Amino acid sequence: MTIIRLDQTFTRWDELLALILASFASMNGRIDPQSSALKLTTESLAEKSRAEIGHVAIDGES
């Protein structure tokens, strides 16, 4: 497993967004207001990585 910082070199935004949405999918329709994860886009994730510090753990090839 490799832990990397989310920054301008990270390119797997589609996969990260899919993981986040899948992680919160069981809450869809159960909480009000809805999870803010539903408002995320690949572009907003990339923007957040420029304004905030984030890391991702990758199992296998990075």
Break the chain into its structural domains and give their ranges. 2-58
pLDDT of residue 61: 67
Q: Which residues of the chain have pLDDT under 70?
A: 61-62
pLDDT at 62: 57
Task: Return all residues near 59 (Cβ < 8 A) that are at least 6 apart.
Answer: 1
58 within 8 A of 10, measured Cβ to Cβ: no
